[in-house]
Structure 1
Amino acid sequence: MKKPRITYFLISVITLTVFLAFGSYGVVLAQEETTEEAPPPEEIKLSTTYPVLRGPSGTTFEFKVEASYRGEGERTFDLSAKAPEGWYASIQPAYEQTEIAAVRMRPFSPESLKIVLIPLKNMSPGEYVATLEISSGDLRDSIDLKAVITATYELALGTSTGRLNTSVTAGEDNHFALILANQGSDAIENISFSSDKPEGWSITFKPDKVESLEAGKTQEVDLTINPPGKTIAGDYAVTVKVTSDNASDDLELRITVLTPSLWGWVGVGIVLIVVGGLAVVFVRLGRR
């Protein structure tokens, strides 16, 4: 009679153990199912794949930035950009040319933006950082965008005398000396010359091309001006231009045309003035 009692006791212990184990687990599951998770806090985030761009002086830098908003409803965010000194920053939609100052966003729907950095003058080589900011109430974020100027390219065209006017004789070759200077930080290649001139005039350059000009160096250029022989005497404007792959300059000259006959009259006038002056001197000396 003792064996059935032992068996009954063991069965009872096992049953109670199983009940306690699975019963407590079920209670935990029920508690977990009834617990509600708190919604994540609202957030605005700016990000970019390429925060640093490089280019020579005069380059316009375009940064692509993505704005991501996490929240409960639509919201309008203000946009602003702090540009380095001497630069202009423009905030635009990624695929439009319209400048914007705010953007309306839906939760979990990213907006693609474009920040265009434009140098207002030739910038020295170096790093220039702009900051894009987005905000709405207590939500805000910012991102730094860096433009790296690798070199400056600047050509300056002038004259050997510093004067921007000269006199020429119609129907003849008249020479005028120009000075081309590389005021950049790197060599400038493939330099060529051209001009805007009155109809029928001949304007030539020697040399007419410069293969390469090192930084800080100058090149003298002989400008030959030949107005047609029938050109009416007077003042004319001639613009000479220098261009390369990454720099250019121009110079406006005032050209005074004297016809050969006019030169003759000028010579006669000079002779008469000299003779008249000598006559006056002799008369005064004779009276003494």
Structure 2
Amino acid sequence: MVAQNRASSGTDNKSSFSSDLINIESSADQVFRFTGTLQNNTSADQIYELSAKLPEGWRTVFKAKGKQITSIKVDSGKRETINLEFYPSHQANPKKYEIPVTAESEEESLNLDLEAVVSGAYALEITTPSGRLSDKITEGEKKDIQLVVKNTASLKLTDIDLSSKTPPKWSVVFSPSEIESLSPGETKQVTATVTVPDKTIAGDYMATFTAKNASTKDQAVFRVSVVTSLTSGLLGTVIIIIAIVVVYILIRKYGRR
């Protein structure tokens, strides 16, 4: 984050609205935070209404003494510290944005001109080549799931880690396990090898795959349908047949008594 300068409105012996920093540079996914000082040099207490002219899609929050405000009372000859937070639009293009801020009372209007320089944005996406987020796996076996990690923003991403959250005793191995860098618009193919334990009950399970670095992250929730193996299915069938035969024999033997 880069910051510059000091600016104020008003001259000596007049009220002023000032900030030590008037220019901050950061990415579009960060909050631009300025600290302003509102000095009331009039002979009476003033209530100042605070407003900012923002770029489309942006929003602002004014704070004083730890509280969110839209106006503030400043006693005659006193000053108050105003924290100004500007939240950029997710679609903000890399450039300098001018943000005029006004503190207006019944007697005066004080202006503070700030600048937010958007250097770009960090964002990524993890999905599958087809976009389909479901598959079948046989219990006791492993399966390779193909994933795609894409840099969807305007700044380069580095040191992207891959991780997973699965049902107990499942395991996932990623290849590669880390992506060193992704330029804007670039994609990387990743293989997630999922292993399902023996005797897992047939049904639908959820596995979450995550790609993240220090600046951003994304998740893909994958539905895994576990089916029983042929051996387990035959064994279950044999057990059922044996149970039926045993019941039949017992009925034949004791049913007439």
Contact 2:25 2:117 in 1 (8 A): yes
- 2:139 corresponds to which residue? 170
Letter in 2 for 1:140: S
Letter in 2 for 1:145: L
Q: TM-score, normalised by structure 2?
A: 0.81
Task: Give the fraction of aligned pairs with identical amino acids, expressed as a percent.
Answer: 28
Contact 1:81 1:130 in 2 (8 A): yes
User: Where is the strand percentage greater, Structure 1 or Structure 2?
Assistant: 2
Contact 1:42 1:139 in 2 (8 A): no
Counterpart pick for 1:153 among 122, 134, 142: 122
Contact 1:79 1:134 in 2 (8 A): yes
User: Where is the helix percentage greater, Structure 1 or Structure 2?
Assistant: 1
1:115-154 aligned within 5 A: 115-121=84-90, 123-154=92-123
Indicate whether 1:251 and 2:220 are aligned. yes
Q: Residues 261-285 of structure 1, C-alpha deviation per residue, up to 9 Å, x if partnerless?
A: 38968xxxxxxxxxxxxxxxxxxxx
Indicate whether 1:229 and 2:198 are aligned. yes
Indicate whether 1:64 and 2:35 are aligned. yes
Q: Aligned-residue CA RMSD in angstroms?
A: 2.1
Q: Residues 22-49 of structure 1, C-alpha deviation per residue, up to 9 Å, x if partnerless?
A: xxxxxxxxxxxxxxxxxxx994321112
Letter in 2 for 1:58: D
- Once the 2 structures are TM-superposed, how far is the Cα of residue 216 of structure 1 from its aligned partner? 1.6
Letter in 1 for 2:67: T
1:41-120 aligned within 5 A: 43-93=14-64, 96-120=65-89
Indicate whether 1:200 and 2:194 are aligned. no
Structure 1: 5+ residue stretches without partners: 1-40, 266-288
- Once the 2 structures are TM-superposed, how far is the Cα of residue 120 of structure 1 from its aligned partner? 4.6
Secondary structure at the aligned position of 1:84 is classed as coil
The structure with the larger Rg is 1
Letter in 2 for 1:164: L
1:259-270 aligned within 5 A: 259-261=228-230
Q: TM-score, normalised by structure 1?
A: 0.73
Contact 2:98 2:115 in 1 (8 A): yes
Aligned residues: 224
Contact 1:81 1:91 in 2 (8 A): no
- Cα distance in 1 between the residues matched to 2:99 and 2:62: 12
Counterpart pick for 1:239 among 173, 197, 208: 208
- 1:282 corresponds to which residue? none
- 1:26 corresponds to which residue? none
Secondary structure at the aligned position of 1:58 is classed as coil
Counterpart pick for 2:157 among 168, 188, 191: 188
- Cα distance in 1 between the residues matched to 2:58 and 2:68: 16
Letter in 1 for 2:48: F
Structure 2: 5+ residue stretches without partners: 1-11, 235-257
